[in-house]
Amino acid sequence: MSIKVAIQGIKGCFHEEAAYKYFGEDIETVECESFKKTCELLKQGRVDYVVMAIENSIAGGLLPNHSLLRDYRFPIVGEVYLHIKLHLLVSPGVTIQDIKFVESHPIALQQCSDYLEENPQFKITEGEDTAGSAKKVSELQLKDTAAVANQLSAKLYGLEILERRIETNKKNYTRFLILAAKTDEKSNVNKASLSFQTGNGVGALSKVLLCFAEQNINLSRIQSMPVLGKRNEYDFYVDVEWNDQADYEAAIRRVLKLTNNFNIMGEYVKNDKV
């Protein structure tokens, strides 16, 4: 029986593409209208994994998803990076002269701003989902509307790619986390996601970061979020990478003495191939 993976969005979306890249295509993806719904399905045992976007090379960290990580506390068991490539999709036979409307998710439209500005004849329409816009063009057999979406959507909904790679920034990457209900035992882990709080004194955070540096641990990411209901207090989310497991363990022992509410959110194999 194939594993079930919850995704935010409909089939053909970037979350499904990320799921296929990580697990292979012999899986069952479960559509969810929100990231919270993906977590609820995992909590209820109705899926095996969740694929959740956590940061984008252009837009930065997705703070609401950090809140879900904090609230649900599912272990992070993996990661996958996806090169975001956006295309102009149309019904078969439609030409550029036929297009009056272009529809997609607001962020996708924003990421194609240069192309859209070069084509002021298009009226821009915001949709809820890149893949959803492609599905709409296909199901309604629209001849005057194009969707901005990925190649997977074109294949899935029988659309033609009229213009390729219309995104403004060609180096646009999104990192997705793989969440599970329980930790996957792996022997070759070399990356971890951690969260903690520090005191509000001078140099409190720098002392923690120095522990990692002195143990040869690479700090690949840091993100802060205010602690709910507390003034001037923050949760820090960091990703660390190492070559020697003993160095990592020594750093953790040192950091524990300097932090509050320390949590290892997941230890997994680094996977930054795009």
The CATH code of the domain at 191-268 is 3.30.70.260
Asked whether 13 and 135 are in contact (CB, 8 A), the reply is no
- In this structure, what is the dihedral angle of CA atoms 23, 28, 31, 32, given to the nearest 10 degrees? -70
Structure tokens at 62: 């997705």
Note whether 87-163 and 191-268 share their fold: no
Q: What is the pLDDT of residues 202-256, one digit of tens each?
A: 899 999 999 999 999 999 999 999 888 777 788 999 999 999 999 999 999 999 9
For all residues of the chain together, what is the average pLDDT? 95
* Structure token pair of residue 79: 């990661």
pLDDT value at 4 more than 80: yes
For the chain, domain boundaries: 4-83+173-180, 87-163, 191-268
Q: What would the pLDDT profile of 57-93 be if each residue is shown by its tens digit?
A: 888 889 899 999 999 999 999 999 999 999 999 999 9
Residue by residue, what is the 3-state secondary structure of 136-152? Answer: HHHHCCCCCEEEEECHH
Among all chains, which residue has been given the structure tokens 């949760």? Answer: 235
Domain 4-83+173-180: give its CATH code: 3.40.190.10
Q: How far apart are CA 111 and CA 211, in angstroms?
A: 38
Determine whether 196 is exposed, middle or buried from the number of CB atoms within 10 Å of its CB (0-12, 13-18, 19+): buried
pLDDT in tens, 5-24: 999 999 999 999 999 999 99
Report which of 168, 158, 179 is spatially closest to residue 74, judged by C-alpha positions: 179
Q: Can you give the pLDDT at residue 185?
A: 80
Other Cβ atoms less than 10 A from the Cβ of 120: the count is 7
- Residues linked to residue 5 through DSSP beta bridges, in sequence order: 29, 49
Higher pLDDT, 184 or 154: 154
Q: Please tell us whether the domain made up of 87-163 is placed in CATH 3.40.50.300.
A: no
